[in-house]
Amino acid sequence: MLLLVITIIMLVSLFLPFIKRRRSTYLLVGLTTSLFIFWIGILTYIAKKGGFDKNLLWILFGSNAVRLKLQYLSITLGKLGYTIALGRYLFPTFLVLLASEYSHFPLAEKIKKYWWSLFIIPFCTLIVYIPKLFEKIINALPLALEVIVKFSSFWILSYLVLTIYIVIKEAILITMPFFRRRFTSKMCLLLSLAFLYALYSPQDPAQVYLFYRNDYMWMLGLWYLQKGFNLPFYTFVVIASIITASFGLWAMLKYTQIGWDDRHEEISLDRAAKGAQTGINMFSHGIKNELLANRILYTKLEALIKEDKDKETLLNSLTQLEQKNEALLSRIERLYLSSKHTQVVLSPNSLQSVVKIACDKFYAKYPKGEIENLVDDDLIVLCDKEHLSEALYNVIANGYECSHSPVKLFVNTERLWTNIVVKDSGPGIPKKMQKKIYTPFVSSKNSALNWGMGLYYSRDVVKS
């Protein structure tokens, strides 16, 4: 049962790099793989040792066939002990690294910067636990056995405590609901795997090396299966193992689902955009040529009308028509640009300057519109000023067109993140439209000037 759950967790983690190629996904692969190696080593040792309660067979192995296969697996005690050592000493290292990768407060940032330092103690411990070297050390220095065992247990416990501290502090520091929801599945995954590991981490590889040879090590080995413990203790270990393993599997699947949904949405939108790109280019190019031809016609008509002083009304009408033509030409140009994969160049910019450009575009289209700007003047963001201002303008215009009331702009900051909030008093987005609002050419507005590319473009800019 537990073997099956841990195997599924590892296999799911191996699938993650194909969805998101990030440092965190590779660390997660290392974490689950080391746990799997540790667990396989322990189960092999349990199967070979025997003498455990038959009721635990299903919990530990899932079936008697698996137990028999591990029991008669051809492997020396040295190799089996070092297999346990690899999983036992690599897991807490990957655990701390992954917890710090998900966190952003100063201590976590330092750990990410000096990540290599976390491998020093585990690497030295693994060298000491090389079977032949370990045997030479304890034969030459009998007291070294107890020192090595207790020191390895001490630093493992220290790494586990550090992980719990990082995760809990990060959860407390996160104030925005969106980021808190995202962090919850990561926190549950780390804590559940850490607790499952902690239940069996007292199993020291030295006990495997010195099996039949040392009474002290015999007392340390397989502490959770020794006859001295009563039924309530066994019940606690079994129930805790099942709950944490199941919870870890749920958290892993939840984490994978979030990544898969994000990736699937991105691929679907990209396919929709690429499928329409050729038609967009041909359409916008043709309309642009027509509008440019109209511009020449306006110039000729204007010259003719100016010769007749009684045509002032026609001249005003012509001016209005020319303005509409230029506005439509500008929108065609933005439609054309939004359909192309343009380069985004990031640089430090004042957020207020980005907001000002977006507001200027908004007032040019809606002179009577109102924007309540509550953005701080001293905020600096890393962005492409031109693209971000255009994306922000699209969101502001959408909010105003839905409510025709003042739009409020304010910012929530969450350490590395800056969340620009555009708030309007509209009726909200219908549930049927919520999954379609970013799809190209999907719009709920019945207007010739709204072609459903604004929010797709805005999302593309923010994702970039």
Q: DSSP of 198-250, one letter per residue? A: HHHTT--HHHHHTTTT-HHHHHHTTGGG-TTS-HHHHHHHHHHHHHHHHHHHH
Q: Residue 346 maps to which CATH number?
A: 3.30.565.10
- Residue 82 falls within a domain, yes or no? yes
The reply to whether 224 and 363 lie within a common domain is no
- Whether 50 and 150 map to the same domain: the answer is yes
DSSP assigned state of 323: H
pLDDT on residue 124: 95
Please tell me whether residues 212 and 76 are part of one structural domain: yes
b/e per residue 85-101 (b: at least 16 CB within 10 A): bbbbbbbbbbbbbbbbb
Total domain count, the chain: 2
Q: Is residue 287 part of a domain?
A: no
Q: Are residues 365 and 464 in the same domain?
A: yes
- Same domain membership, residue 349 and residue 257: no
Strand partners, 414: 417
> 257 and 355: one domain?
no
Say if 260 falls within a structural domain.
yes
On whether both 232 and 375 belong to a single domain, the answer is no
Q: State the pairing for strand pair 380-383/347-350.
A: antiparallel
| Co-location of 234 and 116 in the same domain | yes
Q: Across the 464 residues of the chain, what is the mean pLDDT of every consecutive 10-residue run? A: 70 73 86 90 82 65 79 88 94 94 89 93 95 89 86 94 93 81 81 84 83 55 52 61 66 60 54 52 57 67 65 67 69 60 72 89 84 84 84 85 84 79 82 72 60 70 73
Residue 287 CB burial class (10 angstroms; 0-12, 13-18, ≥19)? middle
434, with CB counted inside 10 A (0-12, 13-18, 19+), is exposed
Residue finishing a domain among 231, 247, 268 = 268
Domain boundary among 268, 298, 323: 268
**Residues 122 and 242 grouped into a single domain:** yes
**Is residue 136 domain-shared with residue 263, that is, in the same domain?**
yes
Domain boundary among 268, 283, 299: 268
- Confirm whether 249 is domain-assigned: yes
Coil vs helix vs strand at 103? coil
The reply to whether 51 falls in a domain is yes
In a domain, 333, yes or no: no
Rounded to the nearest angstrom, the gap between the alpha carbon of residue 223 and the centroid of all alpha carbons in its chain is: 38
Among 436, 451, 445, which residue's Cα sits nearest to residue 336? 451
Quote the domain boundaries for residue 352.
Answer: 342-464
Residue 329 lies in a domain: no
Note whether residue 56 is domain-resident: yes
Same domain, residue pair 13 and 155: yes
Instruction: Read off the amino acid at residue 278.
Output: T
Do residues 248 and 154 share a domain?
A: yes
Torsion of CA 174, 178, 180, 183, to 10 degrees: -120
What pLDDT sits at residue 343?
A: 63
pLDDT at 278: 47
Dihedral sign for Cα atoms in the order 118, 124, 130, 135: negative
